[in-house]
Amino acid sequence: MSKPPVADPRRTLTLRDVSEASGVSEMTVSRVLRNRGDVSETTRERVLQAARALGYVPNKIAGALASQRVNLVGVIIPSMSNMVFPEVMTGISETLEDTGLQPVVGITNYSPEREEAVLYEMLSWRPSGVIIAGLEHSEAAQAMLESAGIPIVEIMDIDGMPVDSAVGISHRRAGLKMAEAIVAAGYRRIGFLGTKMPDDHRARKRLEGFKEGLAEAGLTLADEEYYAGGSALLKGREMTETILTRSPDLDFLYYSNDMIGAGGLLYCLDKGIDVPGRLGLAGFNGVELLDGLPRKLATMDACRREIGVHAAEIIAGKHPTAVVGGEVIELFPTLEPGDTIRKG
Amino acid sequence: MSKPPVADPRRTLTLRDVSEASGVSEMTVSRVLRNRGDVSETTRERVLQAARALGYVPNKIAGALASQRVNLVGVIIPSMSNMVFPEVMTGISETLEDTGLQPVVGITNYSPEREEAVLYEMLSWRPSGVIIAGLEHSEAAQAMLESAGIPIVEIMDIDGMPVDSAVGISHRRAGLKMAEAIVAAGYRRIGFLGTKMPDDHRARKRLEGFKEGLAEAGLTLADEEYYAGGSALLKGREMTETILTRSPDLDFLYYSNDMIGAGGLLYCLDKGIDVPGRLGLAGFNGVELLDGLPRKLATMDACRREIGVHAAEIIAGKHPTAVVGGEVIELFPTLEPGDTIRKG
DNA sequence: GTGAAAGCGCTAACAC
DNA sequence: GTGTTAGCGCTTTCAC
């Protein structure tokens, strides 16, 4: 029994090889492999058999060029390591799963220059759509997005002017709402702990909204502390120690994310500080991690998975309400008071 | 002052448009845009100017088809959410950054079927190489990898037969080493807590090596507990409570990952259990999170970033030692005893 | 230093 | 149901 005739193994297989092996025209082979058009069951079988036997993998590059269709969706996000974007990705992947579309991820590290480069690279593959975090982009990136001629969904944030569609929450209002809750609970000497990230516009807007909320009650931030790099949990501990040493009379600490907030909480528990009686704490994001902590940190859910789902639906053209393009979908984060804000 | 002449905005721009706008042949435009071949500074400027003015983005699909070269590297990993793969990705991205190669990520959720589908999809874009987690693949996936005709690097694990190159640690030996350390520290009634994941071969191999290490000392696992889904930190607490209730005489708990281990540690601290005196604990991975915990969990670093760096170097053809292809690069995890294993 | 011709591997559109 | 023809937008090769 001899092996089936296989073409030069160094060359990758083409439709023509399958065509020759099966005795069916290239065109019909193509139809079978794409499940397009009517093909008799007999030829169908013959083609599939030949393709399998050869181990043929279609060349999507050629296919895309000929059909002017690319089943790729570019997803551009700042980071993969901070727990928030992986969840957005989960929502996107799930939703795209049965649409034939495939996400392709690019990471910017919060750098506008890298964002521009990644976007350029992606657009050069002519994807069916782009999902990109944030509303702030370099001038060139903005221009590319505007003239791309494909659906663009800017995610996470809706405080600004989207190029096309947007799905997200108002970080400004999220900050405002948290400030109001804190003030209502009776806290007055409030400190803020955040990241040194000039290009994290969402964190910036949250802080702006937060200060606005304090201002409504005639308050201002009593102290602030910033960090960059390293283990967020550890940094949270360190920053908390620093700020409390400098301003021992603070009665509330607002953290720009849950990880540093969790670090702060652990620090306070270590030191035996009465939380939330003497000191209240709150973070932002609603990360699942908080569920395992000894005490539950107050936070605000950023609707991460949901944002991914909506964005993907828009790109796939199967969003229940957004159909024309150019919609802004606002989601509303819920405040989860946990155990670190006084009741009443 | 009239606007520059712009072609039909619904059509995406082609080289021809730039050629016409600049009065330079398509061929020369192509050379300028790729920095290939000698082009006079004058024409160069003229072309770049025209391209910028039009907002031309090259079509890589056509380019790739013509040149038979694709600057994409497929990266296939099980998950993005468990802290280990994002770090591998970081290593890959950094290393690829100045090679002109771009990573494209596919997620399998530890499902062999999805892995097969993702791999097929990726290969159909004819990438320059594939980095894929693990040595275990479906038969079809294995066949695709073998006949892909491009560099393949299987990462994370080296206990098995790679298709081409491999970079990783021996999870079997990692488990063994941990068992030996635990036994040496005098623990005798040892429990294991892990995930219900038949397709997480690395966790499986670690456990096998661990049991082997116990067997060397004439010991066997005293109890086991498994979980699936949910917040790993919270699950760690719950499982720890469950197993300690069922087997109160256990003197050591070995967790299959640091997150559930951290949950267990927090539980023990809550309950006032003497760690590591009455009960020792250890996890696996060496996640940065551990640095912020009240006590440092014993763990073993999985060399995640380093694995990404080596794998990318192999694909980019710039690995210091691996040059022929087909190499196996073994990295050696270090045991970090932290504060949860008795000294001596 | 620049241009013209051919073709990469597919699929749209149309015949049969 | 199946086959033929033309071309997608680039780059390779070779001529000038």
Within 293-332 of A, beta carbons closer than 8 Å to B belong to 293-294
Nucleic chain C contacts, protein chain A, residues 263-302, CB cut-off 7 A: none
The per-residue pLDDT for A225 is 98
Query: Taking Cα atoms as reference points, which of A147, A163, B18, B42 lies closest to residue B5?
Result: B18
In chain B, % of residues over pLDDT 70:
97
Is the pLDDT confidence value at A181 over 50?
Answer: yes
Is the pLDDT confidence value at A185 over 80?
Answer: yes
Do the Cβ atoms of A125 and B60 come within 8 Å? Answer: yes
Separation in Å, CA of B260 to nearest CA in chain A: 9
pLDDT single digits (tens) B231-256: 899 999 999 999 999 999 999 999 99
Calculate mean pLDDT across residues B135-163.
Answer: 97
Work out the pLDDT band at A131, boundaries 50, 70, 90: very high
Please give the residue of chain A at the shortest CA–CA distance from B236: A292
The per-residue pLDDT for B4 is 44
The per-residue pLDDT for B10 is 62
Q: Answer whether any strand D atom is within 7 A of the Cβ of B62.
A: yes
pLDDT single digits (tens) B280-315: 999 999 998 899 999 999 999 999 999 999 999 999
The shortest CB-CB distance from A289 to any of B12, B58, B233 is to B233
CA distances from A40 to A21, A25, A32, B41 (A): 18, 13, 9, 59
Would you tell me how many other CB atoms lie within 10 Å of the CB of residue A204? 18
Is the pLDDT confidence value at A2 over 70?
Answer: no
> In this predicted model, which residue has the larger pLDDT, A251 or A82?
A251
Supply the angle between the helices A15-22 and A41-54 in degrees, to the nearest 10. 120
* CA pair distance A306, A314, nearest whole angstrom: 12
Calculate mean pLDDT across residues A158-174.
Answer: 98
From chain B, the residues in CB contact with A89 under 8 A are 80, 107
The per-residue pLDDT for A6 is 44
Q: Answer whether any strand D atom is within 7 A of the Cβ of B86.
A: no
Q: How far, in Å, is the CA of A66 from the C1' of nucleotide D7? A: 8
Q: Six-digit token pair at B327?
A: 């190499």
Do the Cβ atoms of B231 and A288 come within 8 Å? Answer: yes
From chain B, the residues in CB contact with A263 under 8 A are 292
Do the Cβ atoms of B55 and A289 come within 8 Å? Answer: no
Q: Answer whether any strand C atom is within 7 A of the Cβ of B43.
A: yes
Using a 7 Å cut-off to protein CB atoms, list the covered nucleotides of chain D.
1-13
Is the pLDDT confidence value at A200 over 50?
Answer: yes
The per-residue pLDDT for B30 is 97
Tell me which of A124, A241, A270 to substitute to probe the interface with B (most B C-beta atoms closer than 10 Å). A124
Average pLDDT over chain A reads 94
Is the pLDDT confidence value at B223 over 60?
Answer: yes
Measured CA to C1', what is the nucleotide nearest A17? C9
Do the Cβ atoms of A12 and B149 come within 8 Å? Answer: yes
* CA pair distance A312, A91, nearest whole angstrom: 8
* CA pair distance B300, B302, nearest whole angstrom: 6
B191: Cα within 13 Å, side-chain hemisphere: 25
From chain B, the residues in CB contact with A143 under 8 A are 55
CB pairs under 8 A between A and B: 122
Work out the pLDDT band at B344, boundaries 50, 70, 90: low
Q: Six-digit token pair at A117?
A: 């480069």
Do the Cβ atoms of B263 and A292 come within 8 Å? Answer: yes
Do the Cβ atoms of A291 and B231 come within 8 Å? Answer: yes
pLDDT single digits (tens) A43-99: 999 999 999 999 999 999 999 999 999 999 999 999 887 788 989 999 999 999 889
Within 236-255 of A, beta carbons closer than 8 Å to B belong to 236-237
In chain B, % of residues over pLDDT 90:
88
Q: 3-state secondary structure string, chain B? A: CCCCCCCCCCCCCCHHHHHHHHCCCHHHHHHHHHCCCCCCHHHHHHHHHHHHHHCCCCCHHHHHHHHCCCCEEEEEECCCCCCHHHHHHHHHHHHHHHHCCEEEEEECCCCHHHHHHHHHHHHCCCCCEEEEECCCCCHHHHHHHHHCCCCEEEEEECCCCCCCEEEEECHHHHHHHHHHHHHHCCCCCEEEEEECCCCCHHHHHHHHHHHHHHHHCCCCCCEEEEECCCCHHHHHHHHHHHHHHHCCCCCEEEECCHHHHHHHHHHHHHHCCCCCCCCEEECCECCHHHHHCCCCCEEEECCHHHHHHHHHHHHCCCCCCCCCCCCEEECCCCEECCCCCCCC
Q: 3-state secondary structure string, chain A? A: CCCCCCCCCCCCCCHHHHHHHHCCCHHHHHHHHHCCCCCCHHHHHHHHHHHHHHCCCCCHHHHHHHHCCCCEEEEEECCCCCCHHHHHHHHHHHHHHHHCCEEEEEECCCCHHHHHHHHHHHHCCCCCEEEEECCCCCHHHHHHHHHCCCCEEEEEECCCCCCCEEEEECHHHHHHHHHHHHHHCCCCCEEEEEECCCCCHHHHHHHHHHHHHHHHCCCCCCEEEEECCCCHHHHHHHHHHHHHHHCCCCCEEEECCHHHHHHHHHHHHHHCCCCCCCCEEECCECCHHHHHCCCCCEEEECCHHHHHHHHHHHHHCCCCCCCCCCCEEECCCCEECCCCCCCC
The shortest CB-CB distance from A124 to any of B55, B59, B149 is to B59
Work out the pLDDT band at A344, boundaries 50, 70, 90: low
Calculate mean pLDDT across residues B185-208.
Answer: 96
Question: Which residues does A296 contact at the CB level (< 8 Å), separation at least 6?
Answer: A290, A336, A338, A339, A340
From chain B, the residues in CB contact with A149 under 8 A are 9-10, 12
* CA pair distance B20, B80, nearest whole angstrom: 46
Inter-residue contact B131 to B311 (CB < 8 Å): yes
Separation in Å, CA of B217 to nearest CA in chain A: 35
Inter-residue contact B261 to B233 (CB < 8 Å): no
The per-residue pLDDT for A230 is 86
Distance from chain centroid for Cα B335? 20
Q: Does A229 touch chain B (CB under 8 A)?
A: no
The per-residue pLDDT for A80 is 82
The shortest CB-CB distance from B125 to any of A61, A89, A236 is to A61
Q: Six-digit token pair at A298?
A: 């107050």
Measured CA to C1', what is the nucleotide nearest B36? D11
The per-residue pLDDT for A4 is 44
Q: Answer whether any strand D atom is within 7 A of the Cβ of B246.
A: no
Q: Does B289 touch chain A (CB under 8 A)?
A: yes
β-bridge pairing B299-300 and B328-330: unpaired
The per-residue pLDDT for A3 is 39
Average pLDDT over chain B reads 94
* CA pair distance A28, A43, nearest whole angstrom: 8
pLDDT single digits (tens) A287-326: 988 999 999 999 999 999 999 999 999 999 999 887 777 8
Separation in Å, CA of B214 to nearest CA in chain A: 30
Q: Does B262 touch chain A (CB under 8 A)?
A: yes
Q: Answer whether any strand D atom is within 7 A of the Cβ of A37.
A: yes
Q: Does B189 touch chain A (CB under 8 A)?
A: no
| Cβ-based burial of B71 (10 A; exposed 0-12, middle 13-18, buried ≥19) | middle
From chain B, the residues in CB contact with A231 under 8 A are 288-289, 291-292
Domains identified in chain B and CATH numbers: 15-54 (1.10.260.40), 72-170+304-330 (3.40.50.2300), 171-302 (3.40.50.2300)
CA closest to C1' of D4 belongs to A27
Residue with tokens 């560099």: B151
Query: Taking Cα atoms as reference points, which of B14, B87, B203, B343 lies closest to residue A81?
Result: B87
* CA pair distance A14, B344, nearest whole angstrom: 64
